[in-house]
Each structure stands twice: as C-alpha cells, then as structure tokens.
Amino acid sequence: MDLLNGETINVSLDSVRTDGPVGVAAVIKDAGDDPDITHGARIGAKVKLTAEYGIVTISGGKGVGMVTKPGLEIPVGEPAINSGPRKMIRQSVEQVLKAHSRQDGVHVEISVEDGEILAKKTLNHRLGIEGGLSILGTTGLVKPLSHEAYAATIRSALSVARACGADCTVLTTGRRTEKYAQAFFPDLPGENFIQIGDFFQMSMECVADNGIPQVTLAVFFGKALKMAQGFPHTHAARSDLTMEWLSTLSGEITGDKTLTDKISRANTARHAFGMVVPGYPKVLEKVGSAMIRSALGFCWGASRVRAVIFDFDGNVAFDSDHLQEQPS
C-alpha cells in the first residue's frame, strides 16, 4: 500500500470475505506507543462496483461519525473522514482498477467496530462529530509519542469554536481545570472550552490564526508558572528552575528573604502556592500578568487575554479581570 508521504507498507488483513458483488475486509489499527483511543480498533471497508465509471465514492458506515458543526476540514453533513484518508482510499482503488484494466465506478464504505462506544471517550461530540469516530491522518503512519493527534484536536476545536460564532474561548490544561472553568463560566457553550494540555504556544498561535478576539487561560498554579516564564510547551520546564524563578520574583515584590528561601526549597508548585496564597496577592498578580504577556507574545497581540488561576479546590485565586488594565 502506498502512503501519502511516498512510503510503501504491507498491511495485514484481520478478515476478508465476499458477499455477492460486495467485498468486505477489516484491519486492526496499531497506534504503536501513541496515546490513541483507536489503538486495537477493528476498521472495516465494504467495497462494491457501481455504474459511475471512473468515479470513486466514499461513505461512512457504522461507527464512523457525521460532521454536524462548521469549522472542520469536512463540511457539515459529511462522514468524518478527512481528506488524507479519502485520498489514500481513492489512490488504492485506482491502483487495483488499473492493474485489472478496469474503469468501473467504486463505492467504499468505511466502518469502525464499536466506534459509537469509543467516541464517548473522545472530544468528538464537542467538535460536532456525532455517532462515531473520525478517520484522520496525513500520511497513513502513526508516529510514536508524536502527540500529533492531540495537537490536531486542539486546532480543530478552536476552528469549530470560531465557526460556531465564539468570540471568547477558554483554554484549560486538563479535565479538572476545564470542570472548574465551566462552573466559573456557566453561560458559555461547550465548544468554547478547549483542553490544550501542554501545548501553550501552539494553542495561542491557533487563537490568532482563527481571529478569536478574546481568550481566557484557566489553569492551576504549576502551569501558570510555566506559562509566565514563556515556556512554549509547559511540560518541558524543570521544577527547580521554576521555583528559582518564583523565588526571585517573590523577593523583588516582597523583600522577604525568609519567604524566598522557603519557595526556593519548595518541592512542588502546589507546595509553593501555599506559601504565596493568601498572604502575598501581589506575587500571584505578577505571575498572572506574566502569563498574559507570554500568551500575547505567542499570538502576536491579536487577542485580549484573560488569566484565571484556580486553587486546588477549584476556587479562583486570581482573575486578571480584576486588574486595572491588560498587561502589555
């Protein structure tokens, strides 16, 4: 099988059979080490000839979702099979027809066994993909630990939010912060909330690309510190360097050497948070302001940025909307 990157691979079939004029085959997806919910999923293709000579049509069968919201690569009303997989399907069909000197039309129906169940473990519903999974991909190969699928989901989520009319999105780093943010902003629809994980810079660039006027970063203190320091990927920072930065910042604001020494020896951001809150609100304010400056740097000042820092019980410890003006 020829891939879109020019490579060729052999794909082992899990099953193959004919049902009159229809051929049915299935493969088991191997996602390698990538954190992919479809690893081990049974993906099928039902193929039949049609009278539309030279035309290859593709549809989604059981377990493949339908697009119901604008903003995705595939228009509303179409099965959620992206252009990369569609191109590979057509390419493979055309190769077989050519090898047998045929010019028939061909219809291919893609299905995913238990796709409706697996989809409940994804963000598809929020993206407007209903009834099953989406068939994604750009090359046909999974790159282990690439996190490309997660980054693609963030891009799609921001595109959908904007296409649905969102002029404000709330970026969180995981399920807990999203739950707290949804409680804090109860009037915002679900598609306005996007979990960005550690992809700080990329997400802010996507905010700018989609022309979203306002974005709120709603995070815990640990991620706030890394964002404040301008780390493009917030998983990359070493804890000791983060504590050193916070210790220096606290010293500049408070002049309290005892506090700075304690912070420099803190084991975790949560440990340091207890030293700063509630006694030193100016330190938290400076962290929040630095978060905003970093975010604006990544999105070229194209959006207004609000910073919300939660304590570890979900209470708002800092909200930049209480400041006099947006940091520049």
pLDDT per position as a tens digit, 214-253: 999 999 999 999 999 999 999 866 667 889 999 999 999 9
When pLDDT is cut at 50, 70 and 90, the band that residue 31 belongs to is: low
CA 159 to CA 127: how far, in whole Å?
9
At position 277, the amino acid (one-letter code) is: V
In the numeric block, the tokens 């490309």 are attached to: 148
Of the candidate CATH numbers 3.40.50.300, 1.10.10.10, 3.30.2110.10, 3.20.19.10, the domain formed by 15-130 belongs to 3.30.2110.10
CATH architecture of 150-322: 3-Layer(aba) Sandwich (3.40)
Q: Which helix (H) or strand (E) holds 150?
A: helix 148-163
Ranges of CATH 3.30.2110.10 domains, the chain: 15-130
Q: Is the pLDDT of residue 326 over 50?
A: no
CA distances to 220, 229, 243 from 270, in Å: 9, 17, 11
Q: Please report the pLDDT score of residue 38 as a whole number.
A: 77
Residues in the chain: 328
Residues 6+ away with beta carbon under 8 Å from 279: none
Q: Is the pLDDT of residue 308 over 60?
A: yes
Q: Give the chain's mean pLDDT.
A: 89
Whole-model pTM: value is: 0.72
Ranges of CATH 3.40.1050 domains, the chain: 150-322
